[in-house]
Amino acid sequence: MNLKIKNVVWVPAVIITSLAFSGCTKKGIDTSNTFYTFSTAKIKGLDPAFADDLYAGKEVTRIYEGLLQYHYLKRPFELIPALADEMPKISTDGKTYTFKIKKGVVFQDDAAFAATEGKGRELVAQDFVYSVMRLADSKLNSPMWWLFDGKIVGLNAWREAGVKAGKADYDVAIDGLKATDSHTLEIKLTSRSYQFIYALAMPAASAVAREVVEKYGEEFLNHPVGTGAFKLAEYNPSSKIIYEKSPTFRKEFYPSEGEAGDKEAGLLADAGKQLPLVDKIVLSIFTESQPQWLNFMQGKLDVTAIPKDNFSQAIDPVTKALAPDLLKKGITLEKSPSLDITHTSFNMTDPVVGKNHKYLRQAISMAYDTDKYIELFYNGRAINAQGPIPPGLAGYDENYKNPYKQFNIEKAKELLAKAGYPEGKGLAPLEYLSLADSTTRQSTDFFQQQLAPLGIKLKVQTFSWPEFQQSLKNKKGQMWSFAWGADYPDAENFLQLFYSKNGPPGPNDSSYNNPEFDRMYEKSLTLKDTPERTALYKKMAAMVVEDSPWVMGAHRLIFSLVHPWMKNYKYHEFDHGMSKYYRIDSSLKK
């Protein structure tokens, strides 16, 4: 996930020009303890069941929480309790997980809690039972159902019973999903899965209250009520979202340990302090990168990525270090490898580019000069992806060369002729789905130029981010560019993008279907992190390369610029609820 949650380009937080906030200086900069952030896409709602992209996932987890979360500072990434009182007890056969739920945690106040006259009631184990059942409800059609599909005893049978009855019965007991008492949750798996625990730290697995869902119905996605560090204060998903510190947030404290270098970097200065450390979060929607950069250069934002068109302003072309004028302002540069991949998907259900036309797909892949693309659009800040698994995960092979990623126009022409379209003759323009922002338009133009020597043309359709996602779920279009950021630190999270049962509205957006791949994938779920599993991952990746449902793109490197008043900022691959650790030093900002 992406979402990420995370399923799209990562962009860190930035500030916007403020109008009339308390603490504003003469320059119009808000110096209060407020964190300003942005999204490059409209937020489609704040329902965890639909948090299937990075943008929604970040926003959902400001308000909602799950059983587990990631330690903010430690690397390698480490799961720790969130709403769970401790890490789960796991049976010797690996199939039963028992969680003790923290006592005294309450949902934020809301009129939906009639029994407590609008006061938020205490979180109980049954809330997690209900929340997982929602994901399984076929009528809800959650794109995150893939997390639990086929994995919990009795859950799929409950889903099918709801289909037959025309309505899901949330009062029916499920053998593998039980609240054995008010604060004990028991989950029984159909088979051992070493990756299952990661699902419980994802935004979609957050706890929601049944009373709130039932009171607001279809409007629930616009009326979030969680147990998290922040509550919703103002909501306009197309322009601005404002959050305030939740007065009922449980007692949680800034970590007192991290990895080597964290203390020296000042990341332990707030050790032991109660969270959250900021009083407010203001998120604005920016669909273009230049306003972000302008605001940063004016000192009106806290953290930003470096847009491709401003890279030379930020990084010295000779030393490759931060530009002197930024250093003088106390700005620091953070470089972080990202567990992600960009790619161009083919609709494998399409009669032209789909299942039985791999030579066409391979030809398109060989005509694409990824190295040139990386230089133009990432300023060289990426690795040419040879397969679906990014560096840093077991299964990645730095010596592997994808035979269809070696830029070779003549070989591409041979493959195109083998597909039955010599020089592109007889091939109608391919329907290509795209976003409407300027950078994506430039990227699409570049792709069209790459295909021109083959005689292949594109028919481009542009959409907003929510419309784009909906088109993919409806299997519209023949091709589109996309990106996937890790939901958890295991290559399985990338290989599940090709598992047939995860087809739309799930994360297998290309609808790739290979029974042999599925067999190996299901076997991998039962294996520990061993050389045997790593070898299986490599076989699966090679199979995907040969079938070519994707044109592999790039694994990116994140460059973040941070102002000196932004405290405790450390890039985290799984940015779920991490804003509770941030602090703004108002005296420095003034």
Q: Give the chain's domains with CATH numbers.
A: 68-209 (3.90.76.10), 340-557 (3.10.105.10)
The token pair that represents 70 in the structure block: 């990631």
Q: For residues 521 and 540, what is the distance between their CA atoms, to the nearest angstrom?
A: 7
Q: For residues 241 and 232, what is the distance between their CA atoms, to the nearest angstrom?
A: 8
CB proximity list for 173: less than 8 A, separation 6 or greater: none
Sheet with 34-39: list strands edge to edge: 34-39, 280-285, 240-245, 230-236
Neighbours of 249 (CB within 10 A): 21
3-class DSSP state of 501: helix
- The residue type of 529 is D
**What pLDDT score does 556 carry?**
94
Q: For residues 170 and 469, what is the distance between their CA atoms, to the nearest angstrom?
A: 29
**What pLDDT score does 260 carry?**
96
Q: For residues 153 and 398, what is the distance between their CA atoms, to the nearest angstrom?
A: 39
Name the strand (E) or helix (H) holding 63: helix 54-63
Nearest Cα to Cα of residue 479 among 346, 343, 342:
346
Question: pLDDT 10s digit of each residue in the chain, 590 long?
Answer: 433 333 333 333 333 333 333 344 546 778 899 998 888 788 989 999 999 998 999 999 999 999 999 999 999 999 999 999 999 999 999 999 999 999 999 999 999 999 999 999 999 999 999 999 999 999 999 999 999 999 999 999 999 999 999 999 999 999 999 999 999 999 999 999 999 999 999 999 999 999 999 999 999 999 999 999 999 999 998 889 999 999 999 999 999 999 999 999 999 999 999 999 999 999 988 878 888 888 888 877 889 889 888 999 999 888 888 999 999 999 999 988 899 999 999 999 999 999 889 999 999 999 999 999 999 999 999 999 999 999 999 999 999 999 999 999 999 999 999 999 999 999 999 999 999 888 899 999 999 999 999 999 999 999 988 889 888 888 889 999 999 999 999 999 999 999 999 999 899 999 999 999 999 999 999 999 999 999 999 999 999 999 999 999 999 998 999 999 999 999 999 999 999 999 999 999 88
**What pLDDT score does 299 carry?**
79
CB proximity list for 521: less than 8 A, separation 6 or greater: 492, 495, 496, 498, 499, 540
**What pLDDT score does 61 carry?**
98
Angle between helix 370-378 and helix 438-451 axes, rounded to 10 deg: 160
3-class DSSP state of 342: strand
Residues counted in the chain = 590
Nearest Cα to Cα of residue 16 among 27, 30, 5:
30
Neighbours of 186 (CB within 10 A): 19
CB proximity list for 410: less than 8 A, separation 6 or greater: none
Dihedral angle over CA of 224, 225, 229, 234, nearest 10? 50
Alpha-carbon distances of 250 from 137, 257, 524, 532, rounded to whole Å: 30, 21, 38, 43
Contact 57, 5 (CB under 8 A): yes
As a three-state string, the secondary structure of 163-188 is: HHHCCCCCCCCECCEEEEECCEEEEE
**What pLDDT score does 475 carry?**
84
**What pLDDT score does 25 carry?**
52
The token pair that represents 547 in the structure block: 């079938």
Q: Any idea what the Cα angle at residue 464 is, between residues 458 and 465, rounded to 5°?
A: 100
Alpha-carbon distances of 540 from 1, 194, 537, 543, 544, rounded to whole Å: 21, 18, 5, 5, 6
**What pLDDT score does 16 carry?**
31
Alpha-carbon distances of 296 from 40, 95, 238, 279, 333, rounded to whole Å: 15, 50, 22, 21, 13
3-class DSSP state of 429: coil
Contact 58, 202 (CB under 8 A): no
Q: Tell me the backbone φ, ψ of residue 243, rounded to 5 degrees.
A: -120, 150
The token pair that represents 116 in the structure block: 């407590």
Q: Tell me the backbone φ, ψ of residue 83, rounded to 5 degrees.
A: -85, -15
The DSSP result for 349-400, as a single string, is TSTTTSTT-HHHHHHHHHT--HHHHHHHHHTT-EEE-SSSSPTTSTT--TT-
- Tell me whether the omega of the peptide bond preceding residue 12 falls within 30 degrees of 0, making it cis: no
Q: Tell me the backbone φ, ψ of residue 79, rounded to 5 degrees.
A: -75, 140
Nearest Cα to Cα of residue 426 among 416, 435, 434:
416
Q: For residues 137 and 552, what is the distance between their CA atoms, to the nearest angstrom?
A: 34
Q: SS3 breakdown of the chain: % helix, strand, coil, rounded to 5?
A: 30, 20, 50
What single-letter DSSP state applies at residue 538?
Answer: H
Dihedral angle over CA of 30, 279, 581, 246, nearest 10? -150
Contact 189, 151 (CB under 8 A): yes
**What pLDDT score does 39 carry?**
84
